[in-house]
Amino acid sequence: MISQAEFDDLLQRYLSGRSPASEQRLVEQWSRQLGQDENLLLQPELQEQVRAAMWQRIEQLTQDPAAAMPIPPVQLLMRPPALWQRPVLRWAAVALLGLGVGWWLPRHQPTTQTAHWVQRTNINQPAQQLALADGSFVTLYPGSTLRYEDGLLGARREVYLQGKACFKVAKNPARPFLVFTDKLVTTVLGTTFLVTAYAGTEAKVAVREGRVAVQPRTGAVLTATPAQPAAHSVLLLPNQQAMYSSANKALTKMLVEQPVLLAPQTLTFKNRPVAEVLAALEKAYGVNIVYDPAKLRECTITIDFDKEPLFEQLDALCKALDGSYKKANNAQIMFESPGCNAPG
């Protein structure tokens, strides 16, 4: 069965005139079937949800023939004119023209009337707590909408997010949990993570515990998991996040803004090697601190970090050693110091 990502690529090739003859016939056969009752692209409730956001653009495309002229293959949907006025073909044209709503629709539209889709929207403060049928919990932040099939049926548990939500996913290695946004697909087997995907802002996924695989939405391999990730995916561990750049269509892995303590321990040191201090911070926060061990070989320090956050602890260490640090890609921290035997 063709995946949504593969189908999106097929349509894009068709519209740009790059499809081989076999693919052209496939798309044209699909378009002709859209008028049949058993092949409706959208259920009535979905039509109403998309209609509110897209109606103005649809009217422009369906009433102004010139708007469709640069894309000749779409003209097949405009014959006969009477059929074109049917709502299902108007919505099909929106999907074909790539107006940005396809990601929000479920990849497998139900073929019977038994399936039921649930939509939750939080338009007010504070954040809302949602319980899903599989035992997972979602914190839905203001200005956000979550859509999913009631019961989370199918081989994969799939939800569709606009906005921001924190997911605490019940573990089930046999049924991965996927969060779709307009730019990203996040896959977990069971863990806690935060997804931010408000319109007009950078999309990002931050992990609080467990392991998460993140892919760009376009070309996503939906069968991939954190245990068997896709080649172009980014694997995230606790205190790591992935940011998506719309400019270069790429993901960057980095530390979250405020790493939390993952392995509580005593962070009080009396005349201890600095390398030992850095190793303790790495373990406590699950971070990778890169430094030159030769420069710090002779350095010892007495310091008590108490309950300060990680970056304040590093600030104190830098002050004592006349050093500096910076956050780097791939969720690393670069620590620099002249060492303890540098000429005064």
Torsion of Cα atoms, 26 then 32 then 35 then 36, to 10° = -70
The whole-number pLDDT of residue 295 equals 93
Q: What is the mean pLDDT of residues 234-252?
A: 94
Buried-exposed string 312-335: b where 16+ CB fall within 10 A, e elsewhere: ebbeebeeebebebeeeeebbbeb
Q: Encode pLDDT of 136-163 as tens digits.
A: 999 999 999 999 999 998 999 999 999 9
More confident residue, 28 or 289: 289
Q: Between 68 and 289, where is the model more confident?
A: 289
Question: pLDDT (tens digit, 9 = 90+) per residue, 47-106?
Answer: 444 444 443 443 444 444 333 333 333 333 333 433 334 444 444 444 434 445 555 656
- Is 1 or 83 the better-scoring residue by pLDDT? 1
On the 0-12 / 13-18 / 19+ scale of CB atoms within 10 A, 273 is middle
pLDDT cut 70: percent of the chain above it:
67
Domains and CATH numbers, the chain: 4-104 (no CATH), 117-255 (2.60.120.1440), 268-336 (3.55.50.30)
Where residue 22 falls among pLDDT bands split at 50, 70, 90? confident
pLDDT tens digits for 257-286? 999 999 988 899 999 999 999 999 999 999
Q: How many other CB atoms are found less than 10 A from the CB of residue 152?
A: 20
pLDDT given for residue 99 in this prediction: 43
- The string of pLDDT tens digits covering residues 120-132 is 999 988 999 999 9
For residue 65, the model assigns a pLDDT of 39
Q: Span 241-265, mean pLDDT?
A: 93
Categorize the per-residue pLDDT at 114 as very low, low, confident or very high, splitting at 50, 70 and 90. Answer: low
Q: What is the pLDDT of residues 218-242, one digit of tens each?
A: 999 999 999 999 999 999 999 999 9
**Residue 342 pLDDT exceeds 90:** no
Calculate mean pLDDT across residues 8-28: 67
| C-alpha span between 202 and 196 (Å, rounded) | 8
CB atoms within 10 A of CB 81: 7
Does 170 have pLDDT greater than 80?
A: yes
* CA nearest neighbour of 222 among 211, 233, 210, 206: 233
